[in-house]
Amino acid sequence: MCYIKNMADLHGDSPHEHEHDFGISCDDCIGEAAEAPGIKPWYREPRVVFLIAAAVVTAIGLTLDWLLPGVFAKAVLGLAIILGVVYPARAAWDSLLKKTLTINTLLIAATTGALALDLWEEAATLVVVFSLGGVLETYAVERARTSLKQLVDLTPREAHVIRGGVETLVAVEDIGVGEFVHVRPGERVPLDGRVAAGVSSVDQAPITGESIPVFKKPGDAVFAGSINQKGSLEIEVSSLSKDTTLAKVIQSVEEHQAHKSTYQRFGERFGRIYTPAMFVVALSVMTLPPLLTGAPFTDWLYRGLVVLVVSCSCGIALSVPVAVVSAIASAARRGVLFKGGAYLELLSGVKNIVFDKTGTLTYGEPIVTEIIPFQSIPEKRLLALAGAIESRSEHPVAGAIMAAAKERSVEPAPSTNWRSIPGLGARAVIDGKTYHAGNQKLIEAHNISLSPAESALKRLDEAGQTLVFVTEGDDLIGLIAVADTVRESAAATMRDLKAAGINRVMMLTGDNEATAKHIALEVGLDDYRAGLLPDDKAGIIVNLISEFGPVAMVGDGVNDAPALAASTVGIAMGAAGSDIAVETGDVALMSDDLSRLPFILNLSRRTVSIIRFNIGAALAVVAVLVSLALLGRIDLVPGLLINEIAAFFIILNSLRLLA
């Protein structure tokens, strides 16, 4: 029974901030609820109280009218109408001042028309059923909206901060980075941070969707909103309350209205034209036949009224945003963040999925398996040099080298001028000389001879390891082999994606051909390309799209940003804890669980098919009812009831996506 302007209404923003976006406003139901601070219990909403009073008085009036028709019954019905129109009339007046037509204007017009025809019973029923529809639909929308709000309520408002050895309860906004907070058993973690003392399992499901609690020991990262289980933890805070991973998730979800699906835009455009158009149609029905053919005026006035009443279904206008919000909320509960309804729609059409290798198909936590120095350099010296070159790089390969150095108690050599070379490696200056560490492409780009490594390369090439070449000036001084394990779930995910109708799964990697081939076989990929730079990946995706249609790219966000941006839908993995991943990507998997992919694919398809069905069903109901009304084959009250019931079911259908 109401029109929704845009997604802002579903987020509880003040409707007035957006009132010019859209001709139709929705002050009657969504607006009221949105302005209220929080949702009052239903029996305390004045609108509901008036509605109940109107319904009771209408019932009395209808009974009286049946037992003893006359002025007294009409007076009671009149009272019911007055009670019922207080709120709609106020809203209709507001919208009239704004020169917009709303469903309330429609209600007032229809009631006036019914009274002009001396149809008191119909007028009272109209007011009550109309408002009842509005209230029920508000609550349906509210259901979808609160499931998003629940995300916000995950973080505690206060935390036990340890200041000067004493624990004090402080509002989370007043806690700074570097302070220590105490999280007791059963409490929620108040802010992102690292465990400083204590061990415990922590349930991260609200953020990452992982169902099993994760064991945390000193040094491990914890996220605001996750639930501490049995142990007691002392946490060193790493971000302000407005910057936590969860806060970013919520912010992203809220910004999603900027990226609307075509269905959402259709719903809005439809709403903008629809109400005024129906007014015109109804007015023509009321006036044209009597004026042109001299048919009885009251008969056509009645038909016009029925047209007006049966055409005000908000099923169409509401079902789309409700479906989108429900789907986004349901994904968010499982640790998947959609940054807009548009991406649900785009993902539903994807037939090709492209994966990055390191950190996506593999765990991205490689370990050094072999250190091969050339030119009689000691192994530890090679590691000290490599550690120095990699000390500022964020690539997982660099992490492996740093870890190997630490493990063997090797201090990185003093170095300056670090630079990472995306997709190739890194470099630094040590004792005035330039050193590089990187893949074969990097060596070739510097015209450095590979001959010292020949025999080692032959042996290692088949093993599917990543090879890091270390150079000093123009000389190759060593080789470090790094191995990364393929994710356990990778092969099963590829099978599930194929079963879900994906035509082609493919890998793009900057690593060497041998490693790529090895992994492609192990995971069961259809195709792969190796030795790519980040920009090459983007170029390949552009070609894939023009050849095979929509492509989703799954990457870990570290240096896949160009590829994620070039794809139809960019999916960033392991977003919890990584700022870049939340920001890049149209969809973010908070965990790095590949098995979420078949889930979101199916969710997106279900959303789109529910939306299509709802739009079709709503249009069909309106078309049938309006035709019957034009033919004079349906009365006001039955038409009204059918219309309301249909709208309600259509909205319930959208809400199914929450389950």
Neighbours of 447 (CB within 10 A): 7
What's the closest the beta carbon of residue 356 comes to Mg ion, in angstroms?
Answer: 5
| Helices and strands in the chain, H and E counts | 23, 22
What's the closest the beta carbon of residue 608 comes to ligand ADP, in angstroms?
Answer: 31
Check if the beta carbon of residue 571 is closer than 8 Å to that of residue 338. Answer: no
What's the closest the beta carbon of residue 399 comes to Mg ion, in angstroms?
Answer: 12
**Residues in touch with Mg ion (CB under 5 A):** 356, 358-359
Q: How far apart, in whole angstroms, are the C-alpha atoms of residue 526 and residue 532?
A: 18
How long a stretch of residues is the chain? 659
Task: Find which of Mg ion, ligand ADP, none residue 510 binds, CB within 5 to 8 Å per kind.
Answer: ligand ADP
Query: Whose CB is nearest to ligand ADP?
Result: 510
Instruction: Identify the H or E element spanning 652.
Output: helix 636-655
Which C-beta is closer to ligand ADP: that of 356 or that of 472?
356
In the block, tokens 């190759």 appear at 476
What's the closest the beta carbon of residue 513 comes to ligand ADP, in angstroms?
Answer: 11
Which C-beta is closer to Mg ion: that of 28 or that of 592?
592
Task: Find which of Mg ion, ligand ADP, none residue 366 binds, CB within 5 to 8 Å per kind.
Answer: none
**Residues in touch with ligand ADP (CB under 6 A):** 356-358, 390, 393, 395, 397-398, 420, 423-426, 437-439, 466, 468, 509-511, 534, 559
What single-letter amino acid sits at 91?
A
Which C-beta is closer to ligand ADP: that of 86 or that of 367?
367
Task: Find which of Mg ion, ligand ADP, none residue 244 binds, CB within 5 to 8 Å per kind.
Answer: none
Which C-beta is closer to Mg ion: that of 275 or that of 358?
358
Residues serving a catalytic function are: 356
Which C-beta is closer to ligand ADP: that of 267 or that of 425?
425
Check if the beta carbon of residue 86 is closer than 8 Å to that of residue 47. Answer: no
Task: Find which of ligand ADP, Mg ion, none residue 438 binds, CB within 5 to 8 Å per kind.
Answer: ligand ADP
What's the closest the beta carbon of residue 509 comes to Mg ion, in angstroms?
Answer: 8
3-class DSSP state of 483: strand
What's the closest the beta carbon of residue 565 comes to ligand ADP, in angstroms?
Answer: 15
The widest CA-to-CA distance across the chain, in whole angstroms, is: 114
What's the closest the beta carbon of residue 578 comes to ligand ADP, in angstroms?
Answer: 14
Task: Find which of Mg ion, ligand ADP, none residue 397 binds, CB within 5 to 8 Å per kind.
Answer: ligand ADP
Task: Find which of ligand ADP, Mg ion, none residue 252 binds, CB within 5 to 8 Å per kind.
Answer: none
| Residues contacting residue 93 through CB under 8 Å, at least 6 positions apart | none
| Residues contacting residue 257 through CB under 8 Å, at least 6 positions apart | 6, 7, 8, 11, 340
| Segments of 484-560 assigned E as strands | 504-508, 527-529, 551-555
Query: Distance of alpha carbon 444 from its chain centroid, rounded?
Result: 43
Task: Find which of Mg ion, ligand ADP, none residue 125 binds, CB within 5 to 8 Å per kind.
Answer: none
Check if the beta carbon of residue 399 is closer than 8 Å to that of residue 373. Answer: no
What single-letter amino acid sits at 531?
G
Which C-beta is closer to ligand ADP: that of 147 or that of 358?
358
Q: How far apart, in whole angstroms, are the C-alpha atoms of residue 237 and residue 306?
A: 63
Which C-beta is closer to ligand ADP: that of 468 or that of 573?
468
What's the closest the beta carbon of residue 438 comes to ligand ADP, in angstroms?
Answer: 5
> Which neighbouring-strand residues pair with 480?
371, 468
Which C-beta is closer to Mg ion: that of 137 or that of 356?
356
3-class DSSP state of 530: coil
Check if the beta carbon of residue 393 is closer than 8 Å to that of residue 420. Answer: yes
Task: Find which of ligand ADP, Mg ion, none residue 395 binds, CB within 5 to 8 Å per kind.
Answer: ligand ADP
> Which neighbouring-strand residues pair with 507?
355, 528
Task: Find which of Mg ion, ligand ADP, none residue 610 binds, CB within 5 to 8 Å per kind.
Answer: none
Q: How far apart, in whole angstroms, are the C-alpha atoms of residue 328 and residue 631?
A: 43
DSSP 61-73: HHHHHHHS-SHHH
End-to-end CA distance of the chain: 24
Nearest alpha-carbon partner for 567 in 579, 589, 591, 549: 549
Which C-beta is closer to ligand ADP: that of 225 or that of 555?
555
DSSP 554-576: EE-SSS-HHHHHHSSEEEE---T
3-class DSSP state of 619: helix
Query: Whose CB is nearest to Mg ion?
Result: 358
Q: How far apart, in whole angstroms, are the C-alpha atoms of residue 276 and residue 491?
A: 55
Which C-beta is closer to ligand ADP: that of 105 or that of 439?
439
What's the closest the beta carbon of residue 583 comes to Mg ion, in angstroms?
Answer: 16
Instruction: Identify the H or E element spanning 133.
Output: helix 120-152
Task: Find which of ligand ADP, Mg ion, none residue 604 binds, CB within 5 to 8 Å per kind.
Answer: none
What's the closest the beta carbon of residue 467 comes to ligand ADP, in angstroms?
Answer: 7
